[in-house]
């Protein structure tokens, strides 16, 4: 597996700019549209659970679970961007992830932030 299997985020020219900061350098917030989020819940694959259990006995990274979590986070972020776009936003400020266990059957990943309309300064 290459590094592309373990990363995420946006490409170089996104139509909805997503940042973790309160503002975006070079832009002015023209309008705040409110909170947006993207949510997904993934169940664990039995094979990956068995493999993770065996790997935990000898130590090391659980690469299968890492890759699944990256895919899950990327899906949550894509849903956040879709919601922001649907509300007319071209930016999301204060972007964050929240990850929790969902009733012992899977992992819930929520991407959230504040949808805004940005203009270049």
Q: What is the pLDDT of residues 13-56, one digit of tens each?
A: 789 999 999 999 999 999 999 999 999 988 865 555 555 555 56
Q: Answer yes or no: are the C-beta atoms of 17 and 95 closer than 8 Å.
A: no
The pLDDT tens digits of the residues spanning 84-116 come to 999 999 999 999 999 888 777 778 899 999 999
pTM recorded for the entire structure: 0.81
d(CA 50, CA 63) in angstroms, rounded, equals 13
| 99: its two tokens | 């990850």
d(CA 8, CA 20) in angstroms, rounded, equals 14
Indicate the helix (H) or strand (E) that contains 54: helix 46-58
């Amino acid at each position: 597996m290459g590094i592309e299997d373990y990363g995420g985020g946006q490409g170089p020219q996104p139509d909805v700019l997503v940042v973790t900061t309160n503002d975006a350098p070079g832009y002015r917030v023209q309008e705040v549209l409110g909170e947006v989020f993207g949510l997904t819940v993934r169940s664990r694959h039995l094979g990956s659970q068995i493999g993770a259990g065996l790997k935990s006995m000898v130590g090391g990274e659980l690469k299968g679970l890492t890759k699944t979590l990256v895919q899950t986070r990327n899906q949550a972020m894509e849903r956040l961007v879709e919601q922001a776009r649907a509300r007319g936003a071209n930016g999301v400020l204060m972007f964050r992830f929240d990850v929790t266990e969902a009733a012992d059957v899977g992992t819930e990943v929520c991407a959230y932030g504040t949808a805004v309309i940005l203009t270049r300064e």
